[in-house]
Structure 1
Amino acid sequence: MTKVLITGANRGLGLEFVRQYSAKGWDVLAACRSPESATELTKYASDNPKVELIKLDVTNEADINALPETLKGQAIDHLILNAGVLGDDCATLGEMTQSKWLEVLNINTVAPALLIQALRDNVAASEHKTIIGISSRVASIGDNGSGNMYSYRTSKAALNQILVSAARNLAEQGVKTLAVHPGWVQTDMGGKDATFTPQESVAGIINQAEQLTLETSGSFKVFDGSDIEW
């Protein structure tokens, strides 16, 4: 049985990942901070026996460290590191504070690193052995022509480094990683005027995950497969 674990599964891209993976016949571990208040996810899971809800606050190290025991013996083919924040109130000069910075970095950067650390053996034990980090084009230093978005840009650039390092460290176990820009998507984060639907973005990301090889592991791509400069 193929299995995927998705963080931030309660809405937006995360919820669409749940829908598309379950439609493909995969077993889905849908992780979010408060499953009891994730109405849409809970309803979907109740109608789809292949979806299991997991309570996971990615800012809580104890929650992350408990995963290896909770998921002991379970192979995870795809680990989708989707949970993230935009850091709107820590985006420009004049409004940044230490506490705002640390909140963004904890969710977007530290949590994915700790999740890879906690679940690397589960991923290595699977057939597909794939870790996908939801990054952003604004993480590209070469593509930064407008500045601003300080905390978001840097947190995602650091996430990219984590994924490249994991690609190097886990290659001997056959584990592959990919940093993916999902596009400007019509979610709560992207807004209704965004270019792509969650369905289009997630379908593209899953396709890239399934095409990933050890040779292309550690790369930075758009959901359509085009490369992004670092």
Structure 2
Amino acid sequence: MTIKHTLKLCFLLLIFSCASPNISKIEGKRLNIDENLKSDEAIEAFIKPYREHVNKDMDNVISYAPETYTKGDGKYNTAIGNLMADAVFSEGNPVFNKRTGKNIDFVLLNHGGIRSIISKGDITTRTAYEIMPFENSVVVAELKGEQINEMIQYLSKAKRAHPISSQLQLTLDKDGNIKSATVHGEPIDTTKTYNVATNDYLYNGGDGMVFFSKNEGLHVLNYKIRDVLIDNFKKRDTLNPKQDNRFIQLND
């Protein structure tokens, strides 16, 4: 008997079994979830030690922020965005290098992926979860210089502070046209292949970043952005990210 015939037989048996007169009538009832819905003490008692354990881990202090940082504190680059992109570079590059013998050239993330501020005071594991609640992971795409130029055009037109790491420098003139774009201080070489770290959402075309689709290869690091932040925060007693000149527009 083929798999197709087996499935048909199972389907017929299911129909006949559901048609059996011994099956009781099934009725549903809608329960509103509000303050009138009481918690189950037995379930609460069972969950309590796990909740306390998770909260203890989440509230573990791993660094300190002398100021509050938000993704709205700059037009083309922000302190929190620079922090995230540079963290992906510094934590992701050793992993990439160990696997391939190559280095990441620079990092591109997305402005909308920053989901919370970093508040002045203690930085905890929970902070990283609030900034990056999604399960996005680091991937490295091999892009030709032509695709890098497409990326630069995208960034110049988007006019948003999409986080880029410091290895990429982009300057716009007063009209928003590209005045200069360099990687490691060198102009974009259309014959060269660049290793660009990003997240899997953007690699798959998120935020209209379709230039990632024309790649020469992909490396999945199995390293969540959230874990990158946690590992990076733990290495520093104090976070002190800054806005800088990695992506700017000239006034004259």
TM-score of Structure 1 vs Structure 2, range by shorter chain: under 0.3
Structure ID, larger Rg = 2
What is the TM-score when the length of structure 1 is the normalising length? 0.23
What is the TM-score when the length of structure 2 is the normalising length? 0.22
